[in-house]
Structure 1
Amino acid sequence: MKKSNSSQFQLSSDLLTLRSLIAVVEEGGFSAAAKRVHRTQSAISVQMAKLEDELDVKLLVRGNRSVTLTPAGETFLSYARRIIQLADEAVLAVGSMHQATVLRVGFAEYLAPQHLHSLIARFRHSYPNCDLSLQLGSGAPLIDSLFNGELDIVFAGPEASDGQTLWEEQLVWTGKPELAADASKPLELVLMPFPCTYRQIVFDSLTKAGRSWNLSVEANSVEAVQAAVRAGIGLTILPKSAIREQMPLIEVGLPVLPKTSVMYYVPPNGSNPYTQCLVDYLLENVEDVKNSHLA
């Protein structure tokens, strides 16, 4: 690979190229990235080839079904994200200086970090012209509200097929260990109503393991599930970040659970300028969010 950039500048690629690189990595391929940035797959491929040629380094490893980062690509990606964030902040700073914009956010209760309020406060400090309207609830109804035009972005689990993955998180069993100790007795469960995706995971995993169960409590909110578990009424599964005090993990004697995807959903023609800013902010603070159960 020969360096073709004869410019006096170290990097002359435009912002669209950097956005394309980010999209290729986050979407896992050129086809999905092309849809995200509204370009053709061949145009994205040409952009990446030119960028690698300009940097004189290989950024991406192209497989048959996936694209992965080289060590140099991983380093450059972090800078690309910072450049894009600063560019977006600059536009927002001058373009929205005199008019506040409301960002309507839906957050699935079972994914809401314990310190969500402090995360939101820090986000608003970075974007003072963004007024947040926050709605907590179940994932599927929130997604319905999104596509009815009532929300700008929703953070939930894999309730629908058109979300984009933020990160993956381990599902865990929680409850008093003695409730699961006797394999001959049915497990007493505390679950959210259908169509909660975790409910079906519980039923499928226990059926496969040959464990019987009773649905002791069907709770209408995650807070109610957490309260019932703390009271010793039954067992449930939740993402690890949704575990609170007095909710012991059960790590033996029950089926191994899969990871769940934390997704974000935006409408096809969404135009709120702060949507991607919030996504980027959460990605930057992903460890804080995932470890919020320790707070």
Structure 2
Amino acid sequence: MIQLGPDLLRTFVAAADCGSFTRAAPTVHRTQSAVSMQMKRLESDLGQALFRREGRGVALTTEGDVLYRYARRLLALHDEALAAVGGPKPHGVVRFGAPEDYATQYLPGALKRFATAHPFVQVDVFCDESSRLREKYRAKELDLVLTTERHAGGSDSRSLPLSWLVAERGAPVETRPLPLALYHAGCLYRRNGLAALEEAGIPYRIAYGSPSMTGVMAAIGAGLAVGPVSVGTTMPGCRLALPEDGLPPIRPVGIRLHARKDGAPDMVEAFAGFLRQELALDRA
């Protein structure tokens, strides 16, 4: 039976992240030839080509990309298990900031798993707009923050698709001007939603505004308006718009994790790791 040991998977992930066996070698404390031999053995065991040559480096094949996603998850669980049952238990406080909808959608899973591995670490969560969270992060009032960006790009980020949220019954999708429930000015969901309507030539009016997700979704759930949300947003009595609703597609935004590295306690980086896995953030 083929065994995917953590050492082998760690070398594989390092090679994929670095895009080169040579650059991966020092990160896993092996020689370049040892890394190359490990990857050849892994490909032989699986009967699949995991890397293809690309210039002076390597890139993942389709099969390699599939294994990469599983390898990241397996290594995270491996490290999580070791942290939960062995070694000293860190104490302290992690100060984390996120917009309200991100905290609702992504935080429960990460918090549950983090609490299992680090039961004595306190996590303080602050919900606010992305612009204010960036300010608090730069002022070192927060250790790590999730923010909405105009575009995805770089490490610790990914694209976040948007859609229209409407009431399951009685949604005013054919009303003109279209009544909208939006976050306050400055929100990228609001900007991209309005841009989509203007490009489609659909007249609209801003019927409800709120700085909180609860306020926006209350108006949508009551069938009084529609509004732009991330595609993972759920609420009883609401659904994401369907093509037959006639609402235009909305350009995606980016979601980015800012995690303090210089002088940050180990528990901050540990919590960042749980968030990276929960959000499936792009590697560097």
The answer to whether the Cα contact below 8 Å between 2:173 and 2:247 also exists between their aligned partners in 1 is yes
Separation in structure 2 between the aligned mates of residue 12 and residue 236 of structure 1, nearest angstrom: 45
Separation in structure 1 between the aligned mates of residue 217 and residue 145 of structure 2, nearest angstrom: 22
The answer to whether the Cα contact below 8 Å between 2:231 and 2:240 also exists between their aligned partners in 1 is no
Equivalent in the alignment of 2:126: 135
Q: Which of the numbers 203, 224, 230 marks the counterpart of 2:194?
A: 203
Q: Which of the numbers 14, 28, 34 marks the counterpart of 1:20?
A: 14
Equivalent in the alignment of 1:86: 78
Q: Does 1:108 align with 2:108?
A: no
1:205 counterpart letter in structure 2: A
Separation in structure 2 between the aligned mates of residue 132 and residue 72 of structure 1, nearest angstrom: 35
Equivalent in the alignment of 2:237: 246
**Alpha-carbon distance change, 54 to 92 in structure 1, aligned in 2, over 3 angstroms:** same
Q: Which of the numbers 87, 92, 116 marks the counterpart of 1:125?
A: 116
User: Secondary structure at 1:52's aligned position in 2?
Assistant: helix
Separation in structure 1 between the aligned mates of residue 228 and residue 35 of structure 2, nearest angstrom: 42
Q: Which runs of 5+ in 1 are unaligned?
A: 1-9, 288-295
Separation in structure 1 between the aligned mates of residue 84 and residue 264 of structure 2, nearest angstrom: 13
TM-score, normalized by length of structure 1?
0.69
1:198 counterpart letter in structure 2: Y
User: Secondary structure at 2:136's aligned position in 1?
Assistant: helix
User: Secondary structure at 2:238's aligned position in 1?
Assistant: coil
Separation in structure 2 between the aligned mates of residue 123 and residue 91 of structure 1, nearest angstrom: 10
Equivalent in the alignment of 2:224: 233
Separation in structure 2 between the aligned mates of residue 165 and residue 187 of structure 1, nearest angstrom: 36
The count of aligned residue pairs is 264
User: Secondary structure at 1:269's aligned position in 2?
Assistant: coil
Cα deviation code 1:12-57 (max 9, x no counterpart): 9699845634634xxxx67xxx8xx9x89xx9x9996565346455
Deviates more, 1:67-76 or 1:87-96: 87-96
**Alpha-carbon distance change, 241 to 91 in structure 1, aligned in 2, over 3 angstroms:** closer
Separation in structure 2 between the aligned mates of residue 12 and residue 188 of structure 1, nearest angstrom: 53
Equivalent in the alignment of 1:263: 256
Q: Which of the numbers 137, 145, 150 marks the counterpart of 1:146?
A: 137
User: Secondary structure at 1:271's aligned position in 2?
Assistant: coil
TM-score, normalized by length of structure 2?
0.71
Separation in structure 2 between the aligned mates of residue 11 and residue 118 of structure 1, nearest angstrom: 26
Cα drift, residue 214 of structure 1: 1.4
User: Secondary structure at 2:214's aligned position in 1?
Assistant: helix
Q: CA RMSD in A?
A: 4.1
Q: Does 1:174 align with 2:187?
A: no
Q: How does 1:67-86 map to 2 (within 5 A)?
A: 67-72=59-64, 74-75=66-67, 78-79=70-71, 82-83=74-75, 86=78
**Alpha-carbon distance change, 88 to 234 in structure 1, aligned in 2, over 3 angstroms:** closer
**Alpha-carbon distance change, 135 to 163 in structure 1, aligned in 2, over 3 angstroms:** farther
Q: Which runs of 5+ in 2 are unaligned?
A: none
**Alpha-carbon distance change, 61 to 112 in structure 1, aligned in 2, over 3 angstroms:** farther
Cα drift, residue 228 of structure 1: 1.9
Cα drift, residue 205 of structure 1: 0.8
Cα deviation code 1:230-271 (max 9, x no counterpart): 233322110122231122332221101234443322235363
Separation in structure 2 between the aligned mates of residue 274 and residue 280 of structure 1, nearest angstrom: 10
The answer to whether the Cα contact below 8 Å between 1:22 and 1:80 also exists between their aligned partners in 2 is no
User: Secondary structure at 1:128's aligned position in 2?
Assistant: coil
Cα drift, residue 169 of structure 1: 4.3
Cα drift, residue 275 of structure 1: 3.8
Cα drift, residue 127 of structure 1: 1.8
Q: Which of the numbers 186, 200, 204 marks the counterpart of 1:213?
A: 204
2:270 counterpart letter in structure 1: C
Q: Does 1:193 align with 2:187?
A: no
User: Secondary structure at 2:232's aligned position in 1?
Assistant: helix
**Alpha-carbon distance change, 46 to 266 in structure 1, aligned in 2, over 3 angstroms:** farther
**Alpha-carbon distance change, 285 to 267 in structure 1, aligned in 2, over 3 angstroms:** closer
